[in-house]
Amino acid sequence: MSQKVAVLGTGKIGEALLSGMIRAGWAPSDLLVTARRPERAEELRARHGVTPVTNPEAAKTADTLILTVKPQDMGTLLDELAPHIPADRLVISGAAGIPTSFFEERLAAGTPVVRVMTNTPALVDEAMSVISAGTHATADHLAHAEEIFGAVGKTLRVPESQQDACTALSGSGPAYFFYLVEAMTDAGILLGLPRDKAHELIVQSAIGAAVMLRDSGEHPVRLRENVTSPAGTTINAIRELENHGVRAALIAALEAARDRSRELASGNN
């Protein structure tokens, strides 16, 4: 943890990562940040005690660079960084859809690159971060990336060929659950409940169901069957979900998210 780590383009996820790293034991003096607006950089200094720098300064000073800018801005950032990054720096990309080869072609030969797709529950230390190695990244580089992102949740190593699928499932995944809660809240209102009570009922049910899935070790089908009694209310609801093609719609939605991730990789912004 004595190595210097720089987070470039520090937005909400980048700040959540900084905060988690500090709680996990990193010294704020070893954490550098860059931001597009000077006032944002000063805000991060005041809130976390980290050091604002320019992008070239970060490239020259930090041992690990975490690039958290939007995919469409990554090429411009690399053009700025490339002259200043020695080949022994670890570069971690958090941009959806961009393969490690994109970085390796623009940086010094042999530069280790690790690709990470995390998600917004990093804001509450419940992220799911998926980690893949580039051509020159070693097991030590992957372990270092896991140490960093483990500060805000769980990590999972996958081959890079699976990253687009993981982006569709977990990178975008929280939005699907928020969408479902929104729809169920509307249903609760339709059924006669006040919005605040419908929301509380659904959120606690979602938390309870998630904990059961995580801790019971049971297959989701078994857990669902435990709630689904013959000729009861649940099976009637499940029948309507099937009649409206909800399962097929979810599969199609995730395929669309995966395809968009591939489009981003090909430069179709």
Q: Is the dihedral of CA 203, 260, 145, 160 positive or negative?
A: positive
Which single residue is written with the structure tokens 């470039």? 8
Strands 127-133 and 113-117: antiparallel
Quote the tokens at residue 237.
């609801």
Question: Three-state SS for 268?
Answer: coil
Looking at residue 169, the DSSP 8-state letter turns out to be I
156: which residues sit within 8 A by CB, 6+ positions away? 128, 129, 130, 131, 166
pLDDT score, position 22? 96
Q: How far apart are CA 8 and CA 128, in angstroms?
A: 21
Q: Is the pLDDT at 243 greater than 50, yes or no?
A: yes
pLDDT (tens digit per residue) in 126-180:
999 999 999 999 999 999 999 999 999 999 999 999 999 999 999 999 999 999 9
Give residue 122's identity as a one-letter amino acid code. A
Question: Three-state SS for 199?
Answer: helix
- Alpha carbon 32 to chain centroid distance? 20
pLDDT (tens digit per residue) in 181-235:
999 999 999 999 999 999 999 999 999 999 999 999 999 999 999 999 999 999 9
Looking at residue 110, the DSSP 8-state letter turns out to be T
Give residue 21's identity as a one-letter amino acid code. M
Q: Is the dihedral of CA 205, 210, 237, 224 positive or negative?
A: negative
Q: How far apart are CA 14 and CA 8, in angstroms?
A: 8
Contact 262, 97 (CB under 8 A): yes
Contact 58, 89 (CB under 8 A): no
Q: How far apart are CA 199 and CA 267, in angstroms?
A: 40
Binned at pLDDT 50, 70 and 90, residue 267 comes out as low
| Neighbour count for residue 158 (Cβ, 10 Å) | 15
Q: Is the pLDDT at 269 greater than 70, yes or no?
A: no
Q: How far apart are CA 128 and CA 49, in angstroms?
A: 26
What pTM, to 2 d.p., does this model score? 0.91
Q: Is the pLDDT at 2 greater than 80, yes or no?
A: no
pLDDT (tens digit per residue) in 39-69:
999 999 999 999 999 999 999 999 999 999 9
Q: Give residue 7's region: left, alpha or beta (phi > 0; psi -120 to 50).
A: beta
Q: Is the pLDDT at 5 greater than 50, yes or no?
A: yes
